[in-house]
Amino acid sequence: MRFLFLGDMVGRSGRNAVFTALPGLVADYRLDFVVVNGENAAGGFGITEEILNQTLSAGADVMTTGNHVWDQREALEFAPREPRFLRPLNYPKGAPGNGSGLFEAKNGARVLVSNIMGRVFMSPDLDDPFAAADQLVASCPLGEQADAIIIDFHAEATSEKQSMGHFLDGRVSVVVGTHTHVPTADHQILSNGTAYQSDAGMCGDYDSSLGMEKEEPLNRFVTKVPRGRFEAAQGPATIAGLAVEISDRTGLAEKISAVRIGPRLEECRPDFW
């Protein structure tokens, strides 16, 4: 199974880059399944139903989120009726929407996708992510109820992300980190066959501060006095993510490649297929 994950879409620039590039990537690389993190897609804060539908129409099969999931209040309304929209799994019981779902890939594979949020330096402080992950994979084991399992671990600390990777190694197909908006150079297949990257990076304007116009964040670091709101940067965007070839036999990773396509970062395409 050919799988593509794209990191956090930030603002109009990021989402337009995804909408433009994704249909061609699906066709050129014959992708079976695509997950996009969209929690920053609406002006950098949350997501609207219109943007969700545009992302799905562009070729995404599932959208994951994170700590900004409810920044656009309408998400509270559409989350319960759209199974392809995932909020973090480890929200307390009763939260709207779903933290995981079982989906069918283009090749017929059963793909379990879950969005889990870390606790170190994160707000809100959700339930134990490791317990949530353990319960999830126990309820839908790889090779039994699921042919592939994808985990978007939305977290700040790389130590927590790496620990989650090792915790799930051999039990899931992919653990990919989101939230920090900076692509890490540690994409690898772990010892027991799980594809891992600490952070997929963002789909947005990298001439910025994490996808935001750089002047106001810089001002706050220097003066400690806010002068305005954070605004999503509008320059040309680079899309960043992770491509993984997953074994149809074992559900574990066989090949892995970072993906970076755009004007500012060194380009990296899934060149192993």
Residues tagged active-site: 68
Q: Which two tokens stand for residue 255?
A: 């090949």
CA dist., res. 192 & res. 247, Å (int): 13
CA dist., res. 171 & res. 188, Å (int): 16
CA dist., res. 106 & res. 62, Å (int): 13
Q: How far is residue 59 from each of residues 86, 189, 194, measured CA to CA in Å? A: 16, 26, 24
Q: In what order do the strands lie in the sheet with 2-6?
A: 62-64, 33-37, 2-6, 239-246, 253-261
**Cis? peptide before 124, omega within 30° of 0:** yes
